């Protein structure tokens, strides 16, 4: 199957899958807090596994070890500064509710999340430059991370009186921006003045930052020991799931020889 087609299908499916938590909030009957207790640790495990078991190994195959690690650290620090500067990630939901922000702020959050989704797409596109298998694993990890975030998005918009149909439409359009970001990097990757291993390393830094600073602390904050133990198990399940998925994907989905050979050629030169 053509890599372009795999990218479009995977990113579109991942974007829509990431909305499952929000859709459940609109129409489900099970307490969303229970869904979050499962989704959050699973996302942490998925991101950690994608970073350490797939993205970083692929970057290390085509880049020097020290250079890859420096780029990963730079990616980690970049997203730290980005979050501190723009508050794009999860905490802005809590801040908005705590300060009683108006409807205008809901749309500011939609814009922020749309930019975040575009950033997710850039990471996916960078992974697809190496191979469809790495791209699929990255898409799965990002979709897992987006599920608990979308719960917050949907909940905030509903609390501000936005109609369910509009909440759903806005979030679908925002999520599909991921496809645009992925297509941009994959389509123009060979024209970018950045080596592919560096894009992968920064992506790994992105994953590690989200897991370490935004997701895992919420698990540590759980006061009930039984729930915390369950979340620990779910985190490990997330690691195993993405690890197994990575092995299967790399076994059955061939590399895109054009991108891989170009990368190796540039590295050797």
Of 1 and 38, more confident: 38
The residue with tokens 């508050």 is 87
Residue 93's pLDDT band, with cuts at 50, 70 and 90, is: very low
- Name the more confident of 59 and 21: 59
pLDDT digits (tens, 9 = 90+) for 155-202: 777 777 778 888 888 889 988 999 999 999 998 876 777 888 998 999
| pLDDT band at residue 87 using 50, 70 and 90 as cut-offs | low
**The pLDDT of residue 48:** 94
Task: Label residues 4-26 b or e (16+ Cβ within 10 Å = b).
Answer: eebbeebbbebbebbbbbbbbbe
**Angle between helix 32-50 and helix 20-27 axes, rounded to 10 deg:** 180
pLDDT of 230-239, one tens digit each? 989 999 999 9
> What pTM, to 2 d.p., does this model score?
0.79
Confidence of residue 267 (pLDDT cuts 50, 70, 90): very low
Residue 250 near residue 79, CB atoms below 8 Å: no
């Amino acid at each position: 199957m053509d890599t372009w087609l795999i990218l479009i299908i995977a990113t579109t499916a991942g974007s829509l899958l990431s909305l499952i938590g929000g859709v459940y909030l609109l129409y489900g009957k099970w307490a969303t807090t229970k869904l979050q207790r499962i989704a959050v640790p699973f996302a942490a495990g998925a991101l950690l596994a994608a970073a350490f078991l797939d993205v970083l190994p692929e970057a290390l195959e085509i880049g020097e070890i020290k250079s890859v690690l420096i780029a990963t650290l730079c990616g980690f620090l970049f997203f730290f500064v980005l979050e501190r500067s723009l508050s794009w990630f999860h905490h802005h939901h809590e801040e908005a509710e705590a300060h009683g922000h108006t409807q205008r702020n809901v749309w500011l959050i939609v814009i922020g999340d749309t930019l975040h989704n575009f950033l997710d797409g850039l990471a996916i596109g960078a992974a697809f430059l190496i191979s469809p298998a790495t791209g699929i694993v990255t898409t799965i990890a990002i979709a897992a991370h987006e599920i608990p975030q979308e719960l917050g998005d949907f909940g905030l918009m509903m609390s501000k009186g936005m109609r369910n149909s509009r909440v759903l439409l806005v979030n679908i359009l925002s999520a599909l921006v991921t496809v645009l970001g992925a297509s941009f990097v994959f389509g123009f990757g060979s024209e970018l003045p950045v080596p592919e291993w560096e894009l992968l390393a920064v992506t790994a830094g992105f994953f590690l930052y989200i897991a370490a600073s935004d997701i895992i602390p919420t698990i540590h904050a759980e006061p009930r020991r039984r729930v915390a133990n369950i979340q620990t198990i779910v985190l490990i399940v997330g690691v195993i799931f993405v690890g197994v998925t990575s092995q299967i994907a790399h076994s059955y989905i061939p590399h895109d020889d054009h991108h891989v050979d170009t990368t190796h050629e540039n590295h050797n030169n």
